[in-house]
Amino acid sequence: MNYPVNEIFETIQGEGAKTGVPSIFIRLQGCPVGCSWCDTKHTWELNDNEKVSVENIINISNASSMWAELDEISLLARLKHYSAKHVVITGGEPCLYDLRPLTETLNKNGYTSQIETSGTFEIFTDNSTYVTVSPKVGMKGGFKVLQSAINRADEIKHPIATEQHIEDLKALLKLRNSLDDVCVCLQPISQKPRATELAIHHCIKNNWRLSVQMHKYLSID
């Protein structure tokens, strides 16, 4: 399976339940969801004329829309240059692609894997992969969050700024068969004070977890 890779870099996971875990990020190119607050809009379009060699996307974080095509074996070889053993597959929207070949390869070779998805596309991944669904409701692309994605999630990390976002989350949680085995996180959009206050209030009220995008506060990738 060939994947359009926008960048590969090593850092600390800054969001959700795995905050603080040393991680290798594989960012895939392409996303039709259209979140207005997206901080990686350069990954939205997959243009053939921006395909480059892999050397142009390794450890380069310059908000470029360039991408390189790599299969799971080539990606595995690249990961051996890093120390971290946890791999986060993000985007863009990584579930545009069948992630089973990649996640199965990672998990068979001593890595743990995690994907971060909007939940608007079917999730095809290894059973042991940790799935973070950050549900995107009412976005420009017009895609609906899938019940199958909500049920597959190990973690539901919901971006919020208003009370309506809380209501949207509660409606999505009703789609899930059980809430006993899922971590629910609230993530304030753009670290705005009002959104943060709202998130803290509802985390305490509902016994949810706060996700504050630590990497942005620390000014790291």
Q: What is the reported pLDDT for 76?
A: 97
Known binding-site residue numbers for Mg(2+): 40
User: In angstroms, rounded to a whole number, what is the distance separating the alpha carbons of residues 193 and 176?
Assistant: 30
Q: What is the reported pLDDT for 221?
A: 59
Nearest of 103, 94, 83 to residue 11 by alpha carbon: 83
Known binding-site residue numbers for [4Fe-4S] cluster: 31, 35, 38
Question: Which letter does DSSP use for residue 89 in this model?
Answer: E
Q: What is the reported pLDDT for 62?
A: 64
Per-residue pLDDT of the chain (221 residues; tens, 9 = 90+): 999 999 999 999 989 999 999 999 999 999 999 998 888 999 999 999 999 999 888 876 668 899 999 999 999 999 999 999 999 999 999 999 999 999 999 999 999 999 999 999 999 999 999 999 999 998 999 999 999 999 999 999 999 999 999 999 999 999 999 999 999 999 998 777 899 999 999 999 999 999 986 655 555 65
The CATH number given to whatever domain includes residue 173 is: 3.20.20.70
Known binding-site residue numbers: 12-14, 27, 31, 35, 37-40, 90, 92, 134-136
Known binding-site residue numbers for S-adenosyl-L-methionine: 37-39, 92, 134-136
Q: What is the reported pLDDT for 13?
A: 93
Q: What is the reported pLDDT for 79?
A: 96
Q: Which domain holds residue 170?
A: 2-217
Q: What is the reported pLDDT for 216?
A: 59
- Give me the number of domains the chain comprises: 1
- Residue 1 amino acid letter: M
What is the number of H-type helices and E-type strands within the chain?
6, 9
Helix (H, G, I), strand (E, B) or coil at 98: coil
DSSP string over 162-182: SHHHHHHHHHHHTTSS-STT-
Known binding-site residue numbers for substrate: 12-14, 27, 90
Nearest of 81, 98, 64, 80 to residue 89 by alpha carbon: 98
